[in-house]
């Protein structure tokens, strides 16, 4: 495949950069705050997303009859990476997970209700897959969905639901058919977050990120808000996870942190000697530069594979990208801490801190990225079984 952008794609990238120069102000864009766009909700942030919507940049790859432009996925990629490089809100779950799944599997009612709101940046979603007893095995979810007259009654608990404290709707999987195999007994629902039967409790992570526990107490969901077919939820979730692994874990912020590390190493002095002259430092930075470029190319390969399989997300390529990109991010963060030395323990924006205090937060947050969207061990299993054809218990 050709890894270079066409003239039209380069022109779009330039338009995005010009837009960001004007609108990516400090109140909505901050590279020093890891994942700010996913954990902070302000009027300014929502206003920024409205500006993206007004430019027609949300849902560019969607079908025209559903409000999209049927552009190739490379355009969403260019946009999302540019947003990530500035630390700005990205196109997010609505466009890349919920919207695309509804397009493929949702009823006409759900499409009519949610797709226009997503395109107009009028709705925020939380995604609920993880549960206390399920670990990394999403198919082991036990949130109970009991069929009742006119709909479903949900009882149980979810964990690690980022955005639940400000989202408008909950995209949630539940066990609707306990007598079937764990992969075949799950259904997918849309639930309003202001439902009186929902309770949201904050959980704070090592990366200073607020995520949440969500408790369900007789939460009634009408039949109309069952996504797709009963019992096929895990298939839809698997497709959505492939999209999440690609759209939610960008390489650009890793590249940007690496550039800041290089700038620091160029001027810093350790024990009276320029850090840039240390052969171990030079070797480490060269390796990280190479690995970051590999992450970029793996992302482009995912896009190329997506074009070859009738728009169904390519599972193996998604796992390869997510595994490698998040591990490179972790290596860059480790190098930032190591090269900064004891001063790397300063918090973000501390005046005397090297690299604006980013080593500390980058180091802590990079651990989270290797878990979200399926832990690294899960990605290795997917690559081994579906990519290499190894047996399940190998």
How are the residues of the chain apportioned to helix, strand and coil, as percentages rounded to the nearest 5?
50, 15, 35
Instruction: Find the mean pLDDT for residues 384-390.
Output: 89
Where does the pLDDT of residue 215 fall: very low under 50, low under 70, confident under 90, or very high at 90 and above? very high
Q: How many residues does the chain have?
A: 394
Checking if the pLDDT of 310 tops 60, the result is no
| 126-231 and 249-387 agree in CATH topology | no
Q: How far apart are CA 217 and CA 156, in angstroms?
A: 7
Where does the pLDDT of residue 373 fall: very low under 50, low under 70, confident under 90, or very high at 90 and above? confident
Ramachandran category for residue 216: left, alpha or beta (phi over 0 → left; psi -120 to 50 → alpha): beta
Question: Which of 1-5, 251-255, 315-319, 381-385 shows the lowest per-residue confidence on average (mean pLDDT)?
Answer: 1-5
Question: Which of 34-38, 254-258, 377-381 shows the lowest per-residue confidence on average (mean pLDDT)?
Answer: 34-38
Strands 186-192 and 226-227: antiparallel
Just give the CATH number of 249-387. 1.20.140.10
Helix ranges (DSSP H) in the chain = 7-23, 36-39, 43-54, 73-86, 92-93, 100-105, 108-119, 233-247, 252-267, 279-308, 315-340, 358-369, 376-382
- Identify the sign of the CA torsion 247, 249, 252, 256: positive
Checking if the pLDDT of 377 tops 90, the result is no
SS3 state of residue 372: coil
Give this prediction's pTM: 0.86
CATH superfamily, region 126-231: Butyryl-CoA Dehydrogenase, subunit A, domain 2 (2.40.110.10)
Q: How far apart are CA 20 and CA 15, in angstroms?
A: 9
- Identify the sign of the CA torsion 341, 345, 349, 351: negative
Q: How far apart are CA 138 and CA 374, in angstroms?
A: 9
* Average pLDDT in the chain: 89
Domain limits of the chain? Answer: 7-90, 126-231, 249-387
Q: How far is CA 81 from the centre of its chain?
A: 12
Q: Are 68 and 60 in contact (CB under 8 A)?
A: yes
Closest CA to 106 of 66, 78, 148, 135: 66
Q: What is the pLDDT of residues 2-25, one digit of tens each?
A: 668 889 999 999 999 999 999 999
Closest CA to 240 of 112, 68, 375, 100: 100
Residue 242: CB atoms within 10 Å: 26
Instruction: Find the mean pLDDT for residues 308-325.
Output: 77
């Amino acid at each position: 495949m050709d890894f270079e952008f066409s003239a039209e794609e380069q022109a779009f990238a330039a338009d995005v950069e010009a837009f960001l120069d004007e609108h990516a102000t400090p109140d909505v864009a901050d590279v020093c705050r890891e994942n700010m766009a996913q954990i902070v909700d302000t009027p300014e942030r929502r206003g920024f997303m409205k500006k993206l919507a007004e430019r027609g940049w949300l849902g560019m790859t969607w079908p025209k009859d559903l409000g999209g432009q049927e552009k190739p996925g490379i355009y969403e990629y260019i946009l999302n990476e540019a947003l990530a490089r500035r630390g700005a809100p990205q196109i997010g779950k609505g466009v890349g997970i919920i919207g695309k799944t509804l397009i493929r599997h949702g009823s006409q009612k759900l499409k009519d209700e949610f797709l226009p709101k997503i395109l107009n940046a009028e709705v925020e979603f939380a995604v609920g897959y993880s549960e206390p007893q399920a670990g990394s095995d999403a198919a082991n979810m036990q949130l109970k969905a009991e069929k009742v007259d006119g709909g479903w009654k949900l009882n149980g608990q979810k964990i690690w639901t980022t955005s639940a404290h400000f989202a408008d709707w909950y995209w949630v999987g539940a066990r609707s058919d306990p007598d079937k195999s764990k992969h075949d007994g799950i259904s997918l629902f849309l639930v309003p977050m202001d439902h009186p039967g929902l309770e949201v409790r904050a959980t704070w992570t090592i990366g200073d990120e607020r995520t949440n526990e969500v408790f369900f107490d007789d939460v009634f969901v009408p039949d109309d808000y069952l996504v797709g077919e009963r019992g096929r939820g895990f298939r839809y979730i698997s497709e959505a996870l492939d999209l999440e692994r690609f759209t939610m874990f960008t390489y650009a912020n890793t590249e940007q942190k690496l550039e800041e590390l290089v700038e620091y190493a160029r001027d810093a002095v350790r024990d009276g000697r320029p850090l840039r002259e240390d052969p171990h430092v030079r070797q480490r930075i060269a390796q990280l530069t190479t690995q970051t470029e590999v992450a970029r190319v793996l992302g482009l390969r995912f896009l190329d594979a997506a074009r070859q399989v009738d728009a169904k997300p390519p599972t193996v390529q998604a796992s390869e990208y997510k595994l490698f990109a998040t591990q490179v991010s972790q290596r860059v963060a480790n190098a930032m801490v190591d090269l900064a030395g004891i001063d790397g323990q300063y918090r973000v924006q501390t005046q005397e801190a090297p690299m604006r205090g980013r080593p500390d937060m980058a180091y802590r947050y990079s651990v989270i990225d290797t878990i979200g969207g399926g832990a690294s061990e899960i990605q290795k299993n997917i690559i081994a079984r579906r990519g290499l054809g190894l047996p399940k218990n190998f």
